[in-house]
Structure 1
Amino acid sequence: MSYYVGLDVSVKETSVCIVNDAGKICRETKIPSYPDDLVRLLNDPAMPATRIGLEAGPLSQWLFSGMAEAGLPVVCIETRHTKAYLKAQVNKSDRNDARGIAQMMRVNLFRPVHVKTLTSQKRRALLTARKLLQEKAVAIENDIRGLLRNFGLKVGIVSVIKFGERIRELVDGISDLAEIMEPLLAARQKLREQFMVLQGKLLSIVKGDPVCRRLMTVPGVGPVVALAFKATIDIPARFRNSKAVGPSLGLTPRLHQSGEDHRVGRVSLCGDAMMRTLLYEAAQVLLTVVKKWSWLKAWAMNVAKRRGRQRATVALARRLAVIMHRIWIDGSEIRQR
């Protein structure tokens, strides 16, 4: 007899439901959310698991890796698809969700999600931490501008390097404001320094990675975009072709078709939001900052004339993803002409 397992994971405990091939519940329990505890429970020779499902979430990569290393047939399933299936239940609870996931495993009604390798997870953590420090520093700078504006002191356009000097110049002679600004400037300076530490680590990784260096031959693509793309895609062979990368990153339009109703909407925005944003920014850079002409820029400019700048930028972001994936697969570099 075959047994199927559904796991509903929370921070402290995981609800476990085991059903047989007829759909009958054989066991239900709650155990701590640790890989070792799950492995001990699911390695029961009396009920060998045919398929184990858990929903993608904050702990899913850690738990998935632990169970996969123990040889368990674990599958990480897509969140939106799971939510749509479980929404049919009248009452939502951890216990009912585990039951629903177990039934999804039994009838093979699920969409698997790729779980990144440990290297890609660490690089993703580096990118996230770098972005966090940058956002906090910018937030402090914007708050300082807002505070000074209340007193008629306008910072204006100033570089990152000269920002502190400009603020001290404005509050010179106003001791009360100077005492308030100094702690904010010190915090901002510390954030900027630590941001540069992570930026240096990122650049050293890219410098030693031949794939990232090839990806950077694409106009508009820099070290951050290249490293983020490699960490996001992780294993390029998991896509059936390069064109499948665009939909996986949410860069293709939604389609709603029912009878005579046929509507093409905005881009789906599914998949990795950070990578999608970076590709969009790279497309903007290529269209507005990069002066060197290339066939890729010419193509995007033609799209902009027909469909507008906004749609051209999205289309270019999608095409950048396709080109970068093909470069990775082929081991080639982009031809500028």
Structure 2
Amino acid sequence: MVHGTVSPFWRSSNDQAFSEAVIRKTMRFVPIKTAEQQADAMVLKTRALLVQQRTQSVNALRAHLAELGIIAAGGVPNVAALIDIVRDVEDTRLPTSARFALTAIVDQIDALAVQIEMIERTIVIEAKRDETARRLTTIPGVGAITATTIKALVPDPGGFKSGRHFAAWVGLTPRPHSSGGKERLGRISKMGNPELRVLLVLGATSALRIARRSEKARPWLKALLARRPFKVAAVALANKMARIIWALLTKGGIYDSSDLTSDALQAG
């Protein structure tokens, strides 16, 4: 093959492979997204970028203050205490030059928080207007951001044969490791869209924390927590949520909390 050109043999073989794939019944084709779906995806990606930038700024603030022996508990809500220290000119633990530099980081954190809040408020408003998003938010652990992400990233849920196929595409299905007639399940495959998978796992984690404190929690959820580690239970619940989401997208309706273990909810 000459540099800068494509070999006729390779091009012919590639075309034959595409032609062969097109006629196969098992091939799945990615549907073209509408302008509205692309716009929703842009909003979500912008939010993800701002959240990432805020996390980087918060980590930088923590690291710099830790060098001076000033440490706060983990989590974004606890950053407020560090911000107050930076802005307190009477706090002598910070040298003047350090306070000057860290004030720039603090201002950036506040500005990013305002922008993220505005975008999330817009997402919530749009989710309330959209009929599909409203139905998805009836599922415990699925909020407006998750529903909007699903709507933007899954243009054709009917392209999946069952809820299990959809959960596998998201990356919430364990990898099988079979040997000697014994089936062993490994870690999740992590296929599909990582942002959607993270949102489902976070929603499942929130639902499990509520279930662990509530006396009215669903019995199968209590049993799951009793026999599995918390993180494993969160992934298992996220898998179930993915299958329920597929059922609502393909069959319509809303989540029926009175029927907690039916095959219809498990969606295949």
Is 1:136 aligned with 2:136? no
The structure where strand makes up a greater share of residues is: 1
Moved more, 116-125 or 129-138: 116-125
**Alignment-derived partner of residue 72 in structure 1:** none
2:31–2:155 Cα contact (<8 Å) kept: no
C-alpha displacement of 1:312: 1.8
Structure 1 distance, partners of 2:131, 2:73, is 41
**Alignment-derived partner of residue 42 in structure 1:** none
Larger RCO: Structure 1 or Structure 2 (Cα < 8 Å, ≥ 6 residues apart)? Answer: 2
**TM-score (ref. length: structure 2):** 0.78
- Where structure 1 has 5 or more consecutive residues not aligned to the other structure, the ranges are 1-13, 19-24, 26-95
Structure 2 distance, partners of 1:232, 1:101, is 29
Moved more, 267-276 or 100-109: 100-109
2:85–2:91 Cα contact (<8 Å) kept: no
Write the letter of the residue equivalent to 2:55. V
**% identity of equivalent residues:** 24
Count of aligned residue pairs for this structure pair: 246
Deviations 1:75-109 (A, max 9, x none): xxxxxxxxxxxxxxxxxxxxx5x565324214328
C-alpha displacement of 1:154: 2.7
Is 1:254 aligned with 2:175? yes
Structure 2 distance, partners of 1:15, 1:117, is 32
Structure 1 distance, partners of 2:209, 2:253, is 26
1:155–1:167 Cα contact (<8 Å) kept: no
Going from structure 1 to structure 2, the CA distance change for 1:321 and 1:170 (only over 3 Å counts) comes to farther
Is 1:117 aligned with 2:33? yes
Structure 2 distance, partners of 1:106, 1:116, is 20
Going from structure 1 to structure 2, the CA distance change for 1:258 and 1:148 (only over 3 Å counts) comes to closer
Is 1:169 aligned with 2:88? yes
C-alpha displacement of 1:15: 7.7
Is 1:226 aligned with 2:139? no
**Alignment-derived partner of residue 316 in structure 1:** 237
**TM-score (ref. length: structure 1):** 0.64
Deviations 1:41-84 (A, max 9, x none): xxxxxxxxxxxxxxxxxxxxxxxxxxxxxxxxxxxxxxxxxxxx
- Where structure 2 has 5 or more consecutive residues not aligned to the other structure, the ranges are 259-268
1:335 is paired with a residue whose SS is coil
C-alpha displacement of 1:336: 2.1
Structure 1 distance, partners of 2:6, 2:214, is 58
C-alpha displacement of 1:244: 2.2
Is 1:198 aligned with 2:114? no
